[in-house]
Structure 1
């Protein structure tokens, strides 16, 4: 454990130095602008289902119990008091046989072990009970990394009048990042909630949030997001 913490501290120190230099370059070239909050928000929780939030699964992520779940609970409380839109996104597959040419996994199974989220095993892809959906909140099943790819998410948000999405979940390197990138491409103001995004690999969250903040959305704290949700 001590060795792991030491390695993580080394990685974080190296990243901070890299961020300082990158910030100079980005600002000089006009990056790191602000997209800002809009008038109608939605909270998008990406893959905060048991296969990602509970231990013992290949997809299990770090900092779930002590940081991500408590942060999302605060966001949900603020959203529910104001009747803001909430979407819980999860991932599962009907055909997990890699030899079956009709699989809904596409070619993604060539890279990652997505066969471990079989649709028949609902306990795996069910949203974590600590942040369980309530009546009126959407539970959306996706097949690819982005919550927008091949789903009804964009149309649903537009019909609800949403102009701002607050994105939480896992992982920073894949599904959260892809959802944010597609979100701004679809015309939504994209906000990454800093303490509510996780991954499995040391340094992955810090690097991706820095890069997202430079090019695809604003990284904001839970406190800032809760204050915003209460104000609109």
Structure 2
């Protein structure tokens, strides 16, 4: 889409959000779940297949390079300086032959091209080198949209006393959203970090962050989250 079209879309969405916000607040929606006592970062699919050009899963490169990656770097600095847990989530499949009699892709390959993210090609599912994991951080491999579905995520968070998850990554309309919805369902305070969430489709980030903030978690800025990370428990 042309830049002017994207700007017009954003304007129209904001107008719709302003009207919807009035309705939601009248009916008791958009309450605050708030920050808890022990946070963890859950960074969803900020791996090369999503963050770099040339892949079916590639997301908005301008936002990725100028907003999401710098936002993540700022968050990671605060998480690491204060010793808070960091979980990097990625997605890949071992059996990517769509005609195979058995595959770990389930039925998802019938809808989207998950077969391109082959576990044998580590460069595809490796976390972007600009925000690469360091020693002591965990990389979790998932097979479905949610970082919680069929994974050990909830268990390791609870085992480490985590009550709050700051969620970043891509995509806003799928893996990030599903992770946030499952996070609050599993009893974690869910925070969507505004500038560190992206998508491929114009308008998808704005719409999903609005809807998440109304129903499933709090949308907070990177700066607000960094201030929280620097002060919680002190």
Q: TM (normalized to structure 2)?
A: 0.97
Q: Distance in 2 between matches of 1:167 and 1:92?
A: 20
Residue aligning to 1:75:
75
Aligned residues: 230
Residue aligning to 2:157:
157
What are the Cα deviations for residues 74-100 of structure 1, in whole angstroms up to 9, with x where unaligned?
100001011100000000000001111
Structure 1 residues 24-103: aligned runs within 5 Å: 24-62=22-60, 63-103=63-103
Q: Report the Cα offset of residue 194 of structure 1.
A: 0.1
Residue aligning to 1:179:
179
Q: Report the Cα offset of residue 101 of structure 1.
A: 3.0
Residue aligning to 1:138:
138
| Stretches of 4+ aligned residues off by more than 4 angstroms | none
Q: Report the Cα offset of residue 57 of structure 1.
A: 0.5
Q: Distance in 2 between matches of 1:100 and 1:115?
A: 12
Residue aligning to 2:5:
7
Structure 1 residues 107-126: aligned runs within 5 Å: 107-126=107-126
Q: Distance in 1 between matches of 2:115 and 2:221?
A: 34
SS in 2 for 1:34: coil
RMSD: 0.7
Q: Report the Cα offset of residue 102 of structure 1.
A: 1.2
SS in 2 for 1:187: coil
Q: Which runs of 5+ in 2 are unaligned?
A: none
Q: Report the Cα offset of residue 213 of structure 1.
A: 0.1
Q: Which runs of 5+ in 1 are unaligned?
A: none
What are the Cα deviations for residues 24-68 of structure 1, in whole angstroms up to 9, with x where unaligned?
110111100000000000001000000000001110111111000
